[in-house]
Amino acid sequence: DVNWKLADHPKLPKGKTIGLIVLDGWGESDPDQYNCIHKAPTPAMDSLKDGKPDTWRLIKAHGTAVGLPSEDDMGNSEVGHNALGAGRIYAQGAKLVDLALASGKIYEDEGFKYISQSFEKGTVHLIGLLSDGGVHSRLDQVQLLLKGFAERGAKRIRVHILTDGRDVLDGSSVGFVETLEADLAALRAKGVDAQVASGGGRMYVTMDRYENDWSVVKRGWDAQVLGEAPHKFKSALEAVKTLRAEPGANDQYLPSFVIVDDNGKAVGPIVDGDAVVTFNFRADRMVMHAKALEYKDFDKFDRVRVPDIRYAGMLQYDGELKLPSRYLVSPPLIDRTSGEYLAHNGVRTFACSETVKFGHVTFFWNGNRSGYFNEKLEEYVEIPSDSGISFNVQPKMKALEIAEKARDAILSGKFDQVRVNLPNGDMVGHTGDIEATVVACEAADRAVRTILDAIEQVGGIYVVTADHGNAEDMVKRDKSGKPALDKEGNLQILTSHTLKPVPIAIGGPGLSAGVRFRQDIETPGLANVAATVMNLHGFVAPSDYETSLIEVVEK
Ligand code: 3PG
Ligand code: CO
């Protein structure tokens, strides 16, 4: 039984309006020409930092501080928002899958037993993001699964690949396909009929999120299930090389393709009796696809043919919806999040972002849980994102609209916490377009200003932070920090997140005198923010939460 009642903070008052801003993809790095945050005019963010060592600091947003396997793992929005909201560090999907594979437990659990019933007579299909990005999936895990399935009786294997270029360098898809093809060839040499069946770029095929654009999922369905796509090739390597040679092509947006045999017939449509495993461990970009695969009633697009399959996710992607119902590894059980505590303690919360990040400040923030804890106290507002575009075309995105919604919520007096995610630095940073990312950072900064002004007006408190780095470094670097050139001597633009720390700033007229960041916490990270925010709401955080970042000194 959980005791939901939070103790009163001995020194900090209740009832202050808190504006909680998460800048997505906004890390701290050395100022140079590839640091878009440095290049952009960011007066609002600068004003929180300059000359304010007591109320501005850096915190860790990558690696083990957010539950990832190693310090080489860059942060991402899922683990970042989980840590921010839950106030504790959980072993995340990537690590849980590693452990299950290493111990072999993955093959003893229900999910595997279920799908392996198709090994004798059917085909087992693996679908997911093919890279070593470690954000949604990891190639080495896929390699182990392929081997493990074959050793345990899979006779016919088809892989449906989604090329990355977003968590890894653009162009790296070719190398990942080569690695995969070599593994599949090795399986064939052992008598397993194993090959790639279809593919496409992750942003164009299958991996949409938060119901932004169902046509993305449909394209994947057509290629994977129906065996239909505008492009047909004899091999995945030929497919990726040919499609990348088109002007303006990039891994994230490759069109869909199917692999065909000598008669032009697709080699791996999904049919009755087959098994399907989606090997991404991260949820957000798999939920829509899982609905298409699992739901009997489904009206988002015409599936044409709905095969009778045994389907399992690498993880369960939505614990509330129990979707998918079968999975290979149990997801982290993130419980007693700060949102749930605060709801039990009467704190009224407003949360807002645009579609592409809406689930980040709600679903991820609340421990991968959809919906409200207490409908009477909470309001979540989603501003529709522009869909069907790459965000370098509209780098301002909906920052202004999000800020205005937050401002109105703050001024309404109806909420104690007004929480937003400003997506620009991240979503535009992922396009690798440096000029557009500078515009994006400026837009995010303006949005911050609007929210800070509203907090000023109501005598509130602001907490401004970020979930991980992205826009502060747009180029791949060598060990010494200099831009690393490729074989032809070109810069390699970094579309991915980074290993950088992120800022956190507190302030506003409602902040009690004497509140400052403690200096005695060794390497604090995102998980320390929840207790901090609880303090600023006038509560002591639960004892198992990571320590608060603040202390109150006599002034
Ligand atoms: C994505 O899904 O867009 C990227 O892989 C990770 O970005 P996010 O963690 O910022 O959402
Ligand atoms: Co991102």
| pLDDT tens column, 471-496 | 999 999 999 999 999 999 999 999 99
Output the DSSP codes for 223-265: IIII---SEEESSHHHHHHHHHTSTT--GGGPPPEEEB-TTS-
Which of the listed residues 129, 430, 496 should we mutate to test ligand 1's pocket, taking the one with most ligand atoms within 8 A of CB? Answer: 430
285 lines ligand 1 (CB under 6 A): yes
Ligand nearest, relative to CA of residue 165: 1
Percent of the chain with pLDDT over 70: 100
Domain boundaries, the chain: 22-91+333-552, 94-329
Contact by Cβ (8 Å): 326, 333 = no
Q: Compute the average pLDDT of residues 156-178.
A: 98
Ligand 1 lined by 135 (C-beta under 6 Å): yes
Token pair for residue 458?
């109501």
Mean pLDDT of 446-474: 98
**Could you identify the atom of ligand 1 that is nearest to the CA of residue 470?**
10
Residues 494-516 have a mean pLDDT of: 98
Instruction: Confirm or reject: Cβ of 76 under 6 Å from ligand 1.
Output: yes
Rounded mean pLDDT of 324-341?
97
Q: What is the pLDDT of residue 235?
A: 98
Predicted pLDDT of residue 43 = 98
How many helices, marked H, and strands, marked E, lie in the chain? 16, 17
Instruction: Please state, in angstroms and rounded to a whole number, the distance separating the CA atoms of residues 372 and 339.
Output: 9
360 three-class SS: helix
Task: Quote the ligand 2 centre to 199 CA distance (angstroms).
Answer: 22
- What value does the mean pLDDT of the chain take? 97
* CA neighbor of 132 nearest in space, from 94, 82, 186: 94
Listed in sequence order, the residues at least 6 apart from 16 whose beta carbon sits closer than 8 Å to its beta carbon are 416, 459, 460, 461, 510, 536, 537, 538
Strands 461-466, 502-507: pairing kind: antiparallel
Q: Does the interface predicted TM-score (ipTM) exceed 0.95?
A: yes
Catalytic residue among 77, 116, 118, 496: 77
Ligand nearest to the CA of 166: 1
Q: Which ligand is nearest to the CA of 360?
A: 1
Mean pLDDT of 509-519: 97
Using the predicted structure, report yes or no on whether residue 555 has a pLDDT greater than 80.
no
Task: Express each pLDDT in 260-301 by its tens digit.
Answer: 999 999 999 999 999 999 999 999 999 999 999 999 999 999
Sign of the Cα torsion 400, 402, 406, 412 reads positive
Q: Name the band, by pLDDT with cuts 50, 70 and 90, for residue 525.
A: very high
Q: What is the mean pLDDT of residues 444-465?
A: 99
Map tokens 């999910």 to a residue: 111
Q: At what angle do helices 214-221 and 287-294 cross, to 10 degrees?
A: 50
- Per-residue pLDDT tens over the stretch 203-223: 999 999 999 999 999 999 999
Q: What is the CATH number of domain 94-329?
A: 3.40.1450.10
Q: State residue 126's pLDDT score.
A: 99
Known active-site residue 215: no
Residue 502 Cα distances to 277, 383, 525, angstroms? 35, 25, 9
Residue 153, exposed/middle/buried by CB under 10 A (0-12, 13-18, 19+)? exposed
Class of CATH domain 22-91+333-552: alpha beta
Residue 220 makes CB contacts below 8 A (sequence gap 6+) with 127, 160, 162, 200, 205, 206, 207, 256, 289
- Mean pLDDT value across residues 69-76: 98
Determine the Cα–Cα distance for residues 382 and 35; give it in Å rounded to an integer. 30
Q: Give the per-residue pLDDT at 387.
A: 86
Q: Give me the pLDDT at residue 289, please.
A: 98
Position 388 scores a pLDDT of: 83
Q: What is the mean pLDDT of residues 83-107?
A: 98
**CA geometry: angle 170, 245, 393, nearest 5 deg:** 55
Beta strand 257-259 with 193-201 is antiparallel
- Ligand 1 pocket check for 166: Cβ under 6 Å: yes
pLDDT attached to residue 389: 87
Q: Please indicate whether residue 167, judged by its CB atom, sits closer than 6 Å to ligand 1.
A: yes
| 290-316 as b/e: b if 16+ CB within 10 A | bbbbbeeeeeeeebeeebebbbbbbbb
Positive or negative torsion for Cα 40, 41, 43, 49: positive
Quick: pLDDT tens for 379-402.
Answer: 999 999 998 889 999 999 999 999
- pLDDT at residue 313, rounded to an integer: 98
- Tell me the DSSP string of 478-508: -TTSSBPB-TTS-B-B--S--S--EEEEEES
- Pick from 260, 358, 262, 270: which is nearest to 307 by CA? 270
CA distance 261 to 121: 21
The answer, yes or no, to whether residue 315 has pLDDT greater than 90, is yes
Q: Which tokens sit at 370?
A: 């959809």
